[in-house]
Structures are given as structure tokens and as C-alpha cells.
A = this chain, B = another copy of it.
């Protein structure tokens, strides 16, 4: 079983990397792009043990995302 955890910056946090990419896109003269948001994902393969869901949640909350700056979302693949 694979779960995908998406992590991205909360609204209102200026993501320097996304800003740089947007700038570069503009410099490349590609003008159909209006906005760009960046994030990470983690595909976590788990064994079908009792507690796998709580483990994935713990991993997402305590490790993969920093709740001060990031949101996360867990999706079954």
C-alpha cells in the first residue's frame, strides 16, 4: 500500500525558490504562466499493519512537515 503525503508552504509565506522560478519563467518570455506554487511529496509504502495510518500521520506531522510553515495532506495512491 502506498500513501502519498503532499507538503507545501502555508499561504502567506514567501517561498524563495518559487519566486526565483517565476522570475526565470518571466525572463524566458513564457507569458502564459500566471502563478506557480511549489511543494514536495513523499510516497510512503507501508505494510498492512494495524497502526499504519497513525504512523503515516505521525511521520507527516512530526517529520515531513513543519506545521509553523507548512501544510500536509495524506492521499492513498
- Smallest CB gap from A55: residue in B: B30
- Residues A35 and B45 in contact in the complex (CB < 8 Å), given A24-B63, A63-B28: yes
Q: Which residues of B contact A30 (CB under 8 A)?
A: 55, 58-59
The contact sample of 19 A-B pairs, CB cut-off 8 A, is: A21-B42, A21-B63, A24-B63, A28-B58, A30-B59, A32-B47, A32-B52, A35-B44, A36-B42, A36-B43, A36-B45, A37-B42, A38-B41, A38-B42, A39-B42, A39-B43, A40-B40, A40-B41, A41-B41
Q: What residues make up the interface of A, taking CB atoms closer than 8 Å to B?
A: 6, 21, 24-25, 28, 30-47, 49, 51-52, 55-56, 58-59, 62-64
